[in-house]
Amino acid sequence: MAYLFTSESVSEGHPDKVADQISDALIDNFLAFDPESKVACETLVTTGQVILAGEVKSNTYLDVQSIARDVIKKIGYTKSEYMFEANSCGVLSAIHEQSADINQGVDRASKEEQGAGDQGMMFGYATNETENYMPLALDLSHALLIELANLRRENSEITYLRPDAKSQVTLEYSDDNKPQRIDAIVISTQHDDFADEATMLAKIKSDLISILIPRIKVKYPQYAHLFNDDITYHINPTGKFVIGGPHGDTGLTGRKIIVDTYGGKGAHGGGAFSGKDPSKVDRSAAYATRHIAKNLVAAGLCDEVLVQVSYAIGVAKPTSINVNTYGTAKVNLTDGEISNVVETIFDMRPYFIEQRLKLRNPIYSETAAYGHMGRTPETVTKIFKSPNGDDKTVTVELFTWEKLDYVDKVKAAFNI
């Protein structure tokens, strides 16, 4: 019997994502000037106010207020009527020194024996139902909001959009787990005030269906066949959405962990990513397990896979590594046997994850909206400004965990 599956996404202007982006901008600035920085930064945003809190061990000093304001400005909160504006909001910092008790469990005389920054379990997932090995419903949910943000910044075809938005896509799957069609699309977008609410709602719905959806079909032709005349559209279903962003809802770092990962497919260990340096395995091991999962599926080992790893705080070697192929494995091995082989290919000690994926670089701001997984690896040059006005130019690789650089090693190990 066919079934439905749903995933959601939120825009860069969503209050929780504003918080994530500020936290990750702080991470990038710390790592740009001191790659060995240990950072755990949380951000809270609300009406006219940003509060920064967390623990840091670093040899650099940052103008955290300026960094936060630059992020808010880039997102698009630049008008006073939003009640949260880059130049006028208050920025309060309560960042302090990292606990020595935690640090002694991470730093070691031998870097190779660096301990995990926390206990816990992390998951990586991949499926061959999309070209980027991501769940389709989440991929489409992200795409809708990325294109909606493009329309907002162009300010030509649609001129009333504000930064806050959410999307949701429901797909119909066949009995053999193949996506057949889009059943429903939900989009709630913040907008300027209209004199006539009924006219406003009708115009927004008409614009998104006639302008946004065709752009998605052109930009993502591989998904065009899933769109149909029977899709149920819920566009701003509550009606008016003028009050939004941090004024409409308080935002916190790390509150959109399912949006950040696989949209409800696979599993999640519960740890957030943004605001954490890579010694925190919540982040680095989640990236490493995604890297494993994607390379396993791309190598043809299986159609779908979930990889779990777990750690004890202060201990380098994982307490477990588990691979679940959901019965889709193409080799004559059990999932337990596959797990044992995977452990010989990928060293999951924290230091080796950091080195393999180049995680001690300022690469995190780009992860903080529209998902940490399924993105396109690329090399970019960034410029960071210190409080004394000096510029530092850094060339880095983004989304290294999305590279298919272990496919040949996987094929060799499994004789594929």
Asked if 144 and 212 touch (Cβ cutoff 8 Å), the reply is yes
42 labeled part of a ligand binding site: yes
- Find out whether 280 is annotated in a ligand binding site: yes
Residue 173 CA, distance from chain mean position = 25
User: Nearest to residue 161, comparing CAs of 152, 148, 169?
Assistant: 152
Residue 237 corresponds to which amino acid?
A: P
How far, in Å, are 34, 69, 110, 170, 226 from residue 231 at the CA level? 50, 40, 58, 9, 10
Single out the residue of 366, 359, 401, 360 nearest to residue 380, CA to CA: 366
Residue 255 marked as a ligand binder: yes
Taking Cα atoms as reference points, which of 315, 245, 258 lies closest to residue 72? 245
The two tokens of residue 287 are 């990236």
149 has binding-site annotation: no
Q: Is 272 annotated as a binding residue?
A: yes
| CA gap 38, 69 in Å, rounded | 23
Give residues with Cβ within 8 angstroms of 389, minimum separation 6: none
CA-to-CA distance for 316 and 312, rounded, in angstroms? 8
**Distance, CA of 288 to CA of 286 (rounded, Å):** 5
Residue 193 carries which side chain, given as an amino acid letter?
A: D
d(CA 165, CA 191): 9
Asked if residue 187 lies in contact with residue 144, where contact means CB atoms within 8 angstroms, the answer is yes
Q: Is 14 known to sit in a ligand binding site?
A: yes
The verdict on whether residue 16 carries a ligand-binding annotation is yes
Return the axis-axis angle of helices 281-298 and 407-414, rounded to nearest 10°: 60
346 is in an annotated binding site: no
DSSP state of 111: G
Separation CA 57–CA 61 (nearest Å): 11
* Residue 241 marked as a ligand binder: yes
The per-residue DSSP string of 265-328 comes to: SS---S---TTB-TTSHHHHHHHHHHHHHHHHHHTTS-SEEEEEEEE-BT-SS-SEEEEE-TT-
Asked if residue 180 belongs to a known ligand binding site, the reply is: no
Q: Is 408 annotated as a binding residue?
A: no
Question: Which tokens belong to 202?
Answer: 């009708």
Query: Which residues are annotated as part of the binding site?
Result: 14, 16, 42, 55, 98, 164-166, 240-241, 249, 255-256, 272, 276, 280
Query: Which residues are annotated as part of the binding site for K(+)?
Result: 42
Query: Which residues are annotated as part of the binding site for ATP?
Result: 14, 164-166, 240-241, 249, 255-256, 272, 276
Query: Which residues are annotated as part of the binding site for Mg(2+)?
Result: 16
Query: Which residues are annotated as part of the binding site for L-methionine?
Result: 55, 98, 249, 280
